[in-house]
Structure 1
Amino acid sequence: MSPRTGRGVRTAVALATAAAAASVAACGTLHGVTSPRDAREDAQATRTQDPQRPVDCGTDKCVALTFDGGPSRPTPELLDILKEKHVHVTFFVQGKGHTDTYPKTVLRMAREGHEIGNHTWSHKNLTALDEKGITGELVPVQQEVRAITGHAPTLMRPPQGRTDDKVSAVMKRLGLAQVLWSVTAKDYATTDTKTIIRRVLDQTHRDGVILLHERYKGTVPAVPAIIDALRERGYTLVTFSQLLAPAVPRPGVVYRP
């Protein structure tokens, strides 16, 4: 290897290492991170698979479709599409201006078989809050969803994906597992439906978790094409808990594909 080539390799390794470190740093001090695939395989090693289970992501090529920050005015249209396409998703609902404004939509989500998670009351960066502040962002949504549907969420998604060991400790106490993602269309930054479709399809791999926001103008129109294209590629679209099964979400744990 020439000195020039050696320097190039060392530079590439250094850049990759720095990028990985930056990714971890974005979540602050954080331990106990696992992937859906690892959690599922650990559970499969100790549990007999139910032969009646309609979806087995240990053998099926699965991807979880998730939506943040609703419900909102476009959500019923999205629910119509999901019903027509026979797809169940995970909604991480927000409190202020959402669950308190559209309770009937939350109830419809639950009745139509969708999974409901917690996305905080007012979308604050949880790592910037003390334990009391973190609790105050989660408990009102837990209470509202329970009052509407009869069941409190067991999953949550931290705003902007920002979490750390302090947040994880509060989530463990509240009985909430944290769910991050591997695919983002950044639909908050574009109204172009074709761009949203392309970004999702370019990033999706088996055992991935797709993040979308139905309240943005270009997103709901993109959903039918996303579903059809992923199915053509052999994917089964599932909720996050289906992706994890036979494992079950563990409070405080961060699931990151």
Structure 2
Amino acid sequence: MTFFRSSKHQRLLWSLLLLSVGAAAGFGLGIFCGTEPPVGCRESDLTPVPDESFVSPASASSVETSPEPEPMPEKWVCLTFDDGPSKTTPDVLSALNRAGVKATFFVVATGNNDKYLPLISEAAAAGHQIALHSASHEYSDIYQSADAYWKDIDLLKERLSPYVRADGLWYLRFPGGSTNTVSRRYGGRGLMQQLKEEVTAKGYAYVDWNVCAEDAVGGKPSAGTIFRNIVRETGEQTQCIVLMHDSATTRTTAEALPDIIQWYKDNGFAFLTVEQAVPLPTT
């Protein structure tokens, strides 16, 4: 997995990460968008300033020093889902399981989705990866300070512990992504850099995305629109981390999944979980 450092792949990633340049044309985070969200974006999904990759820098550096037991596929995709579990999660799991595809779920435990938390055990038992997102997903709370962020993560792990081995969860996704600017309103301009350094120092890997389904936008996009968004944003990329949602309002995501999965299969992509594609930082 040397693509994080190779100039060829960095140019590929950079071209998508700079979707902010074409922000008026559609969503970013391929992976990051401009200051004003383009049509089809919601603020909580945006990280407006381009970063150099969609994973923790320490993860990238560890690739060069740690031998891989097996070569990575030339083309791979990670399907990831944020903000669940919810009433839509069973349909997402059914679509994935029918296709024999493993995905990664960046979960929340807000207190409002307690009755759906057992689905985390079901997903893990089916071979899907469970990863950390937020206990509350309230920017004003979690981004007050670094201490507030870690209290949120600790609470999330506590709420997940009946359903999965929470102390084994080492992958996370910041609400809004790793270079969001929304956090500046609450914790100042330096907060995200501080959090990224602390996350890596604690042995976690933070993961953004470089393809966005735009499935959590207002107006509830159709399954066909979600499919077209993913095809468009994948473009010529050969390593993709796709952002989708299994929140209560993203009903059409599950409907789009069969076509999304078939398209990636037809184009020669292998399906990986995030932990298969992204190494943890070495400490």
TM-score range relative to shorter protein? 0.7 to 0.9
Deviations 1:217-242 (Å, cap 9, x if unpaired)? 22110011100011101111211111
For the structure 1 residues 99 and 179, does the alpha-carbon distance in structure 2 shift closer, same or farther, using more than 3 Å as the test?
A: farther
- Runs of 5+ in structure 2 lacking a partner? 1-17, 23-31, 36-45, 180-191
Deviations 1:68-119 (Å, cap 9, x if unpaired)? 0000011112111111111111100011146633222010111111111111
Aligned mates of 1:44, 1:115 — CA distance in 2 = 20
2:89 maps to amino acid: T
State the match for 2:211 in structure 1: 183
State the match for 1:80 in structure 2: 94
Aligned mates of 1:231, 1:37 — CA distance in 2 = 27
State the match for 1:242 in structure 2: 276
Q: Which has the larger radius of gyration?
A: 1
Aligned mates of 1:44, 1:102 — CA distance in 2 = 36
* Aligned residues of 2:56 and 2:205 also touching (Cα < 8 A): no
State the match for 1:89 in structure 2: 103
Greater helix fraction, Structure 1 or Structure 2: 1
Matched, 1:107 2:138: no
Correspondence for 1:209 among 227, 230, 241: 241
State the match for 1:132 in structure 2: 147
State the match for 2:184 in structure 1: none
* Aligned residues of 1:99 and 1:144 also touching (Cα < 8 A): no
Determine which structure has greater relative contact order: mean sequence separation of CA pairs < 8 Å that are 6+ residues apart, divided by chain length: 1
Aligned-pair CA distance for 1:46? 4.0
TM-score, with length taken from structure 1: 0.75
State the match for 2:171 in structure 1: 155
For the structure 1 residues 135 and 106, does the alpha-carbon distance in structure 2 shift closer, same or farther, using more than 3 Å as the test?
A: same
Deviations 1:233-253 (Å, cap 9, x if unpaired)? 111121111122xxx22289x
- Runs of 5+ in structure 1 lacking a partner? 1-15, 253-257
Aligned-pair CA distance for 1:169? 3.7
Query: 1:68 aligns to what SS in structure 2?
Result: strand
For the structure 1 residues 115 and 203, does the alpha-carbon distance in structure 2 shift closer, same or farther, using more than 3 Å as the test?
A: same
State the match for 2:223 in structure 1: 193
* Aligned residues of 1:99 and 1:145 also touching (Cα < 8 A): no
TM-score, with length taken from structure 2: 0.69
Matched, 1:167 2:195: yes
1:223 maps to amino acid: L
For the structure 1 residues 125 and 174, does the alpha-carbon distance in structure 2 shift closer, same or farther, using more than 3 Å as the test?
A: farther
Aligned mates of 1:90, 1:38 — CA distance in 2 = 20
2:177 maps to amino acid: G
* Aligned residues of 2:102 and 2:271 also touching (Cα < 8 A): yes
Identity %: 24
